[in-house]
Amino acid sequence: MYLYCKRVFDVSFALFLLPFAVLICVPLALCFFVTTGDSPLFRQWRTGLKGRRFRIIKLKSMRDTHEQGGLQLSDDDRITRLGNFLRRSSIDEVPQIINILKGEMSFVGPRPQDDAFLAAMTAEEKRRHDVLPGITGWAQTHGRNATEWKDRFAKDLWYVENASFLLDMRIIFRTPYIVVRASGISKAGYVTMPTLFEERTPSQNGKATG
């Protein structure tokens, strides 16, 4: 019953928000294209429910800029002023409404991670894929990017074990407060946060292939 109600809510709310999303995203996408010459949409393969892969859609916040020799510049060098605004306001996440309508995501759930991170996750941590990934979630409303990966995963697993429609509504109503405060947007010294590989030692990565 919970999963049925969750899906009905996701589709209904996404359809309600879709016209507003278009009005917000189209001008911002055009502005990004005009100022950078790059495609305004970011697409990347992520791991979803039961380990199924899907392509997440976001508004791009960084230029596709490389050094001589083909090496990509650092995030600090590539992020634009518009991109900073998009990240601080979380507007870059709005296009994921399309992922929700396609059944690949929900409004609430663990944030979908890059496929590459699977190699550095334990079997227990991979249980976060037992539910649909979300635009917002328990970890995003309790520390966001400022927390360590192991703490984020622990919060994701807590959500998996305690998921309910009431908890989802609690997270949704708390999310605007977190966004307005611009809380936990990044970890000290990073545009967002270190990758999972950066945070874990090679020995830990070797143990985390279960």
| pLDDT confidence band for 208 (50 / 70 / 90) | very low
Global pTM reads: 0.85
Q: What are the CA-CA distances from residue 135 to residues 98, 104, 138, 151 (Å)?
A: 11, 11, 11, 18
Q: Where are the beta strands (DSSP E) in 113-202?
A: 134-136
| pLDDT confidence band for 173 (50 / 70 / 90) | very high
pLDDT at 111: 95
pLDDT at 166: 96
pLDDT at 196: 80
**CA 203: distance to chain centroid?**
27
Based on the number of CB atoms within 10 Å of its own CB, is 192 exposed (0-12), middle (13-18) or buried (19 or more)?
middle
Mean pLDDT across the chain? 86
Query: Is the four-CA dihedral 89, 157, 121, 203 of positive or negative sign?
Result: positive
pLDDT at 209: 34
Give the tokens for residue 198.
């950066």
Asked if pLDDT for residue 125 goes beyond 80, the answer is yes
According to DSSP, residue 62 is labeled B
